[in-house]
Chain A
């Protein structure tokens, strides 16, 4: 039931985005794809989500030949960097979308959809905001709506593209802890893309460092910190700020 990616390649016109990426992660993993921009991490995520086709390679997940499935068959909950909320729909309608577009024979009844939406709203702590439009929400709230919308389809896998990229530092910290707790609670295999080393090491229980369309190293945050496999990994992780020491920081100022 684990996620196995084998030799995935992708080329855009004159740019080689993925040069044969292989990795595996156990079921329920919280996998971070870390790398500078242009390293191919977002392309890999989009391939997993069915938004981009791989030129070559194979992905197995949940006993399925993942890449032969269409996006809708995969049921991968995708959270976009800019959230991509439906601007003309209320929060509740946004969350209900994935259920309402199902073919009639397996679409839940209206009351059931309503109940599910309420449930998800409370899961993401937005109980009373179902009637708002996305434009009336803060960045952090939009992020959580996007997550609730992705969770509504009962995804097999959760894919997050730079989940905190568009948020300010304070909100980012809070959401990080919250997302970690949510992952623990749901146990969903989750892949997220980030260019922030600190975020990847703190949040992921498995981190894949990518560079120029290849995986430089994959391992636990500790393994990466203590035994970087390549100079690139060492250098890329070196820029991480040391964990904050409150007294010293105050003294420095």
Chain B
């Protein structure tokens, strides 16, 4: 009998190690990501399709959905613009205090969302710094849409910039300089050279920003005032339903919120699959 000894390749790990690592990773993902998500979906249908549908079509729920989408629709483009501007400045120019600016951009990540919300109440609330002025001019910020949008912008401030700064720093200024030497103006250079080079990072940042904007609870909770059917966003509405013991209704709306997040992720995967050639052309240099 001939014993065939098949040596392992030098870069291959022992099968046992490979399988146990894969197992741990899958188990972890299952336990902490898939299982809770599955629970949300099954709980939503705990009282049947009919009840779940009713919970979503309820006028207060509809109002919460509209408000969430509206706040995200305002906050995300603004933060995308800001993120591009900030990372453009940080990556392509040298100026005094650059390090401080980068730290400042990260501030919303390190501050508790509740505190962020309170900042706006302190500034724009009735007893706040600008309270009197705002009341005199009949402008409502706190307990209204502007406050919710402001809080959302603050909390989701860093997502796009965080995604783009390392990317743009890594890419350097060479291509922009080449464009300028070929006669392109500032805006033309940005549109034809910079933007195409960052668009995947930008898309990813915008999707993350969007997911967070729709899901933001803490900061929005402070500034919204919880007026049902008026200033409740989806996360706030879910909490209200849950506190009122409407479990399956709460989970039904939660399902919708989770679905919105899953749709954005699916959209991202779809675009990456569709433009795979282009992405690899840009990233392999």
Could you tell me the distance between the alpha carbons of A150 and B179 in the complex, rounded to whole angstroms? 10
Beta-carbon nearest neighbor of B280 in chain A: A135
- The residue in B174, B180, B182, B278 that gathers the most chain A C-beta atoms within 10 A of its C-beta is B182
**In the complex, A77 has a CB within 8 A of chain B:** yes
**In the complex, B178 has a CB within 8 A of chain A:** yes
Q: What size tier do the contact residues of chain A reach?
A: 20 to 34
Task: Map CB proximity to A onto B18-39 as digits: 1 under 8 Å, 0 otherwise.
Answer: 0000000000000000000000
Could you tell me the distance between the alpha carbons of A78 and B183 in the complex, rounded to whole angstroms? 11
**In the complex, A227 has a CB within 8 A of chain B:** no
**In the complex, A213 has a CB within 8 A of chain B:** no
State the majority secondary structure of interface residues on B.
helix
Could you tell me the distance between the alpha carbons of A8 and B75 in the complex, rounded to whole angstroms? 49
A-side contacts of B174, CB under 8 Å:
80, 82, 84
Could you tell me the distance between the alpha carbons of A86 and B184 in the complex, rounded to whole angstroms? 13
Question: Which of A35-43, A60-68, A97-105 has 4 or more CB atoms under 8 Å from chain B?
Answer: A97-105
Beta-carbon nearest neighbor of A90 in chain B: B281
- Knowing A72-B184, A87-B197, A101-B188, the reply to whether A135 touches B178 (Cβ < 8 A) is no
Beta-carbon nearest neighbor of A73 in chain B: B183
A-side contacts of B178, CB under 8 Å:
78, 80, 84-86, 149
**In the complex, B246 has a CB within 8 A of chain A:** no
A-side contacts of B175, CB under 8 Å:
84-87
**In the complex, B135 has a CB within 8 A of chain A:** no
Is the CB–CB distance between A77 and B181 below 8 Å? yes
Q: Which listed residue (A82, A88, A98, A134) contacts B182, Cβ 8 A? A: A98
Using CB atoms and an 8 Å cutoff, list the residues of chain A in contact with chain B: 49-51, 71-72, 75-78, 80, 82, 84-89, 97-98, 101-102, 133-136, 149-150, 152-153
Using CB atoms and an 8 Å cutoff, list the residues of chain B in contact with chain A: 174-175, 177-185, 188, 192-193, 196-197, 278, 280-282, 284-285
Apart from A86-B196, A101-B185, what are 16 other A-B pairs with CB-CB below 8 Å? A50-B181, A71-B183, A72-B184, A78-B178, A84-B175, A84-B178, A85-B175, A85-B178, A86-B179, A87-B285, A97-B179, A97-B184, A101-B179, A101-B183, A101-B184, A149-B182
